[in-house]
A and B are shown apart, each in its own frame.
Chain A
Amino acid sequence: MKHIMLLLLGAAVSTAAIAATDPRTVPTQLPPAWQAKTRAVFKQAIEIPSVHNRGEVPRVAKLLADQFKAAGIPDADIHFMPYEALPGDKTEALIVRWRSPHATKKPMLILGHMDVVEAKREDWKYDPFEFREEGGYFLGRGTSDMKNGDVATTMAAVKLMSEGFKPDRDIIFFYSGDEETQGKGATLGSTQWRNLTDAEFGLNADGGGASYDRNFRPLGFGISMAEKTFQTYFFTTHNRGGHSSRPRPDNAIYDLADSLETLRTHRFQPMQNPITRGYFEERARQEGNSPLGQAMRAWLANPNDGAAADAIEANPLEVGLTRTRCVATMLKGGHADNALPQTAQATVNCRIFPGVQPKDVQAELQALAGPKVEVTPDPSYIGVPTPASPPRADVINAVKAAALRFHGPAMHVFPVMSTGASDGSFFRAQGIPVYDVDGSWGISPDDERAHGLDERIPVRAMYDDVLHWEMIIKALAG
């Protein structure tokens, strides 16, 4: 569940003296031979439709494993871990250990996931599982969430091995197969498979990243160190139904629609934590004296200033950072075109502020939905609130160095709270701090298409991400 950092530089911050260059047109620093290798693996990965229940994840695992194997990782250190995620969803995790010949530190974990969100051919302009390069972009489901990160981390390791690099700590690559649905792979990885995954800390390729605005001004590089709790609820209505030629005032679909109207306008209580305070301090500095910058300063000065928090939340770039948010994502109802519905159901997806209990959110939703609607948590995934990871200077410095190389000094690096939920939460919950540090980047908001239509990544962002991970690995394990 990729979440590219998005920040908007306020108009008040006038770096406009420097004519901004389109970052997509800057040549990549990755040598052509490695571009070709990376592109070939990326193409194969995108063209495997590793959506839940399709049984395709093991093919992605084999593709990545083959790269490690060809680079010299022995079979004994490559583990295919089959498991069942959603009922009937036979998927797989891949665990690869790159051993240090003279380890002086505890191992380091690199996280990713191989599954992707469903994408329907009829919704997309092109076949989502056909790899395309067009207009400076790679297109296809998973190009930004997150087969880019899988391929970048794998190819960085392969490249380093080919150059004779020897890490001074074991590096464990953990790629799960159900991050988008259950997170069961990460649950197992952080518990039952801990003998294979135990590490001092984790670096997650499913988050982080830099972004530019449409005028190509750098917006920042966020390292996610905390994340909201993912919890889906169902809003369900029931009715005795009947013949559609005789409509009645009581109607399961209308009852549901009424509750969705209420949900649409409901806002949860604003909240802050040290990570978000750090984030808004940086943002307020960037925003200067703009109305948004003023609202941020007002809210930092007085956390009870709800109006300021609302103004921040209403900004498309800050959505989800000031509080718990819930949104309707799916609908179903009725059984025949000519019958009054006997049941209707909406799926409501919530991202809960760290520290808030999902059962309290359920109670709040039930109160707003009213007695005609039954609010229940999705039994297939019960969210567990997780702690923020403590800031680590070595990780932050490694990211800063990489950001400076690829984006220049104007690209600020700072901590953020992710509004998405990722595999990192399961490792955090089990005592392994996790930092989202992927080096992919995009133009905000145009390239933010994870889970959406016509997902894409700038070609250069893909190639430079290989070099980014090479730098991170060298810095933290060299």
Chain B
Amino acid sequence: MRHLLAAAALTTLASTAGAAGPQLTPAQRTATHAMFEHIVNTPTVIGRHKVPEMAQFVADQFTAGGFPAADVHVIPYHTGSATTGDDDTAAVIVRWRAPGTPSAKPILLMGHMDVVEAKREDSTTDPFVLTERDGYYYGRGTIDMKDGITAITQAMVNLKAAGFRPKRDIVVLFTGDEETNGIGAKKGASEWLDLLGHPEFGLNADGGGGGFNPDGSPAGFAMQTAEKTFAGYTFTVRNRGGHSSKPRKDNAIYSLAHALDKLEAYRFTPKLNETTRAYFTAKAQMDKSPLGDAMRRWLANPNDGEAADFIEASESEVGLTRTRCVPTRLFGGHADNALPQLATAMVNCRIFPGEDPNAVTAELEKLVADPTVVVTRNDDNVASLASPLRPEVTAAFTNAVHALHPGMPIFPEMSTGASDARPFRVAGVPVYGTNGAWVQVPTDFRAHGKDERIPIQSLYDNVVHWQLMLRDLAGK
């Protein structure tokens, strides 16, 4: 689930998209295009059984690039749930071994090969035929995230061909069900951890990235360092029911509606962590509006709840200042002429990193303050953790971005969504979303949507970006 930076026009810094910087050779460009076209044209939607085919193709790129077959693995696994259906999928694991005995643990490079469904009739061109038009590549997965799969793979092949020898192992994990059940990531953070060499940290191509405004001015690049915990809750009210011609004061639907009214008015306690503090600091520097004022006030005084509330109320910042819960589904009653015996609401929460979802249960119970409204959890997700900002990663990301886009503002970012990074963060492997693709904001925010696309130059810049990152982090 790609979350590109949703920054609005923030700066007056003059720059242009695709400024001349380090470039691929024509042969590298051709190879990149060929790989990208092949994998976009492979419809890796759940239920279509195409991920294993793509996994084998990607693995073949590594072996053709000179990586020993013993270090390139295609691992089939099963994914499924009641809501997504089942599929046989696969992961790719590649280990680029450093010569000798490296002093540091491996760096993990992450991505996912599956894509969200796209229907032919909903799209202008066939979403599973890579189409070049108006300076863009169109197709499902072009920004979420076959661009990142292509970039990591091609960057490693190019670096190996150039004679680069990493000073620490680089391991790759491409999963096959991030958009649905995330089983690949859970396995990666547990049973496959030995194969991955217990990496020191991970770089996820399914996060980060940047943008330019329609006028060509830079909108900034984001490095994702934290994500909120996704957790589902159910509010359940039971009642003895009865005949609807004789309404009573106790009524399951009214009790539920009253609880939802309380939830609507409730705000969790605002919180700052290292990531969001750095994010708001960077934003406040460029934002002279009342929103920027509120950010400055909150940063100066984290107890200034009013300032935090003002920020949270902004459509661009919603979800970034605290845990948020919202009802998403309702069910109730069994006949139009009977008092309801059961009424339920699904409440979807995005929990601030580090907060225990069980503590949120208790907080929901407390705010509802009605023992007839029973609050239960729908999953066993554990608290997501923020990854501590690592100076060498921040520097490598900044240097790579600036090599291609001089003067580009850079933010750390907390995602309000969920990705493959979460189980690794929980398992103690910090993960940073450091992709280098860029788009025009907000017109190109089409992940999961109609006519997904990537600027042509962005695809090739991303390969260079990953080469620069790897040289910086594994070459010293």
Contacts and interface: CB of A to CB of B under 8 A. Distances in A.
B336 A232 contact: yes
Given A254-B327, A326-B247, A341-B327, 18 more contacts: A120-B334, A245-B319, A247-B318, A248-B318, A249-B313, A264-B251, A316-B248, A327-B247, A328-B251, A328-B254, A328-B333, A330-B335, A331-B343, A349-B244, A351-B245, A419-B246, A449-B242, A452-B243
Interface in B334-381: 334-343, 345-346, 348, 350, 378
B416 A245 contact: yes
Contacts of B339: 327, 329, 451-452
B240 interface: yes
Interface in B407-421: 416-417
Contacts of B245: 1, 3, 228, 320, 325, 351, 418-421
B230 A320 contact: no
B330 A332 contact: yes
A450 interface: yes
A306 B335 CA distance: 32
Interface string A338-352: 111100101101010
Interface residues of B, number: 51
Given A320-B245, A329-B253, A453-B341, A334 B333 contact: no
B425 interface: no
B197 interface: no
Most A CB contacts (10 A, CB to CB) among B261, B324, B328 go to B328
Nearest to A244: B348
A123 to B, nearest CB: 5
A257 interface: yes
Contacts of B331: 331-332
Contacts of B341: 123, 452-453
11 contacts: A180-B335, A257-B258, A261-B254, A319-B247, A320-B247, A329-B244, A329-B339, A334-B329, A421-B245, A451-B244, A453-B341
A319 B242 CA distance: 13
A257 B346 contact: no
Interface in A309-328: 316, 319-320, 325-328
A253 interface: yes
Point out which of A244, A344, A346 has the most chain B C-beta atoms below 10 A from its C-beta: A244
B230 A3 contact: no
Contacts of B261: 254, 257-258, 261
- The 7 A-B pairs with the shortest beta carbon distances in the complex, nearest first, are A330-B333, A331-B332, A334-B329, A333-B330, A245-B416, A419-B245, A327-B247
B340 A251 contact: no
A452 B241 CA distance: 5
Contacts of B337: 1, 117, 180, 230, 232, 329, 349, 451
B132 interface: no
Contacts of B330: 253, 256, 331-334, 341, 344
B346 to A, nearest CB: 5
B134 interface: no
A257 B247 CA distance: 18
A239 B247 CA distance: 30
A247 B378 CA distance: 20
Contacts of B247: 319-320, 325-327
Nearest to B350: A245
A253 B327 contact: yes
Contacts of A228: 245
B274 interface: no
Given A320-B247, A451-B242, A334 B328 contact: yes
B228 interface: yes
B427 interface: no
A327 B264 CA distance: 23
B167 to A, nearest CB: 39
Contacts of B319: 245-247
A243 B445 CA distance: 13
Interface in A90-123: 117-118, 120, 123
Interface string B225-238: 00010101000000
Given A251-B264, A327-B247, A448-B243, A341 B254 contact: no
A336 interface: yes
Given A253-B260, A339-B328, A329 B378 contact: no
B243 A118 contact: no
Among A335, A344, A347, A449, find the residue whose CB has the most chain B CB atoms closer than 10 A. Answer: A347
Given A253-B330, A330-B332, A338 B340 contact: no
Given A3-B245, A320-B246, A351-B245, A334 B257 contact: no
B291 to A, nearest CB: 16
A329 B331 CA distance: 11
Contacts of A246: 315, 318-319, 416
Nearest to B340: A329
B230 to A, nearest CB: 7
Contacts of A450: 243
Contact of A337 (B251, B315, B378): B378
Given A245-B416, A451-B243, A333 B329 contact: yes
A225 B251 CA distance: 29
Contacts of A330: 253, 332-336, 340
Contacts of B232: 337
